[in-house]
């Protein structure tokens, strides 16, 4: 079991335009109304990089920036863990289409945005940071894998880590075989000890065996949780929004799961 503390939150998804706006819906104090995700290029990036940024970069930087503003920490001082089930799905579709025709010429921008750690690269430019960065992909378990990796780094390295999870839909025909409901991103700033900024502690326990995952009470939010791998973290955000103690289970691979015990600070 690993114990970590949450100091900041970032959120961007359909009808969830930031943590400040979305937390009342997650807490059940306001009705959730789905709406298109409000994607925008981050002002952290220079103009040239903003023009090259695709959907996952916009998601990752938006939620990461909000989490740091929420916590008051300097983004240059934190390690990063990026997790996504696919990466830049629009770019993957475009490259596949280019390679299926002649001439097969992929632009340098498309190529460098195709790698799975592209979001990490843009973040390092935007935040002017040289801290360690990890990029993960674990299909539907990507959020759980990212949280487990982040907790391990916080615990073993006594590090401050920002976990940034994001996903967005593939275009057709890939969407038909790998449907992702909507663009969604979330970020958590995690530390090894309680500070005046700490919202809650999380005890993270890796456990074997199948489990009934914790679901969202609101039907629309539950559709979002099921429909986007990165949104598997919504029950954790709901617990943080409510400010109450909670026990949360999130499925992992091979019939394993994570048990999370959330305690407000």
Domain coordinates in residue numbering, the chain: 2-264
- Whose tokens are 């001082």? That residue is 77
Model pLDDT, residue 22: 96
Give the rounded distance of the alpha carbon of 212 from its chain centre: 22
Distance CA 205, CA 257 (A): 8
Q: Which two tokens stand for residue 125?
A: 């430019």
pLDDT band at 15 (very low <50, low <70, confident <90, very high): very high
Q: What confidence tens digit (pLDDT) does each residue in 120-176 have? A: 999 999 999 999 999 999 999 999 999 999 999 999 999 999 999 999 999 999 999
Distance CA(106)–CA(171), nearest Å, equals 18
**Both tokens assigned to 244:** 């109450």
Asked if 42 and 61 touch (Cβ cutoff 8 Å), the reply is yes
Sheet-wide strand order for 256-264: 133-136, 79-83, 161-167, 184-191, 2-12, 200-208, 256-264, 246-251
Element spanning 81, H or E: strand 79-83
Whether the CB-CB separation of 15 and 34 falls below 8 Å is answered with yes
> Model confidence at 51, in pLDDT bands (50, 70, 90)?
confident
Strands 184-191, 2-12: pairing kind: antiparallel
2-264 architecture in CATH? 3-Layer(aba) Sandwich (3.40)
The confidence band for 256, taking pLDDT boundaries of 50, 70 and 90, is: very high
């Amino acid at each position: 079991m690993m114990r970590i503390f949450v100091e900041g939150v970032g959120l961007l998804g359909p009808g969830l335009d930031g943590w400040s706006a979305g937390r009342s819906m997650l807490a059940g104090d306001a009705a959730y109304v789905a709406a298109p995700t409000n994607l925008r290029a981050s002002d952290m990036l220079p103009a040239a990089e903003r023009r090259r940024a695709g959907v996952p970069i916009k998601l990752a930087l938006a939620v990461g920036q909000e989490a740091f503003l929420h916590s008051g920490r300097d983004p240059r001082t934190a390690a990063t863990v990026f997790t996504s089930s696919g990466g830049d799905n629009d770019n993957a579709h475009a490259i596949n289409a280019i390679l299926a025709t002649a001439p097969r010429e992929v632009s340098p921008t498309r190529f460098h945005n195709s790698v799975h750690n592209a979001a990490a690269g843009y973040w390092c430019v935007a935040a002017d940071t040289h801290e360690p960065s990890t990029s993960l992909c674990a299909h539907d378990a990507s959020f759980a894998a990212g949280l487990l990796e982040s907790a391990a780094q916080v615990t073993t390295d006594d590090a401050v880590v920002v976990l940034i999870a994001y996903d967005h839909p593939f275009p057709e025909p890939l969407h038909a075989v790998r449907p992702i409901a909507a663009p969604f991103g979330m970020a958590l700033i995690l530390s090894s000890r309680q500070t005046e900024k700490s919202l809650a502690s999380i005890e993270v326990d890796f456990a074997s065996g199948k489990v009934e995952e914790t679901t969202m009470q609101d039907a629309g939010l539950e559709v979002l949780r099921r429909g986007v791998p990165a949104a598997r973290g919504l029950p954790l955000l709901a617990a943080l929004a409510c400010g109450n103690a909670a026990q949360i289970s999130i499925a992992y691979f091979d019939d394993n799961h994570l048990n999370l015990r959330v305690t407000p600070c």
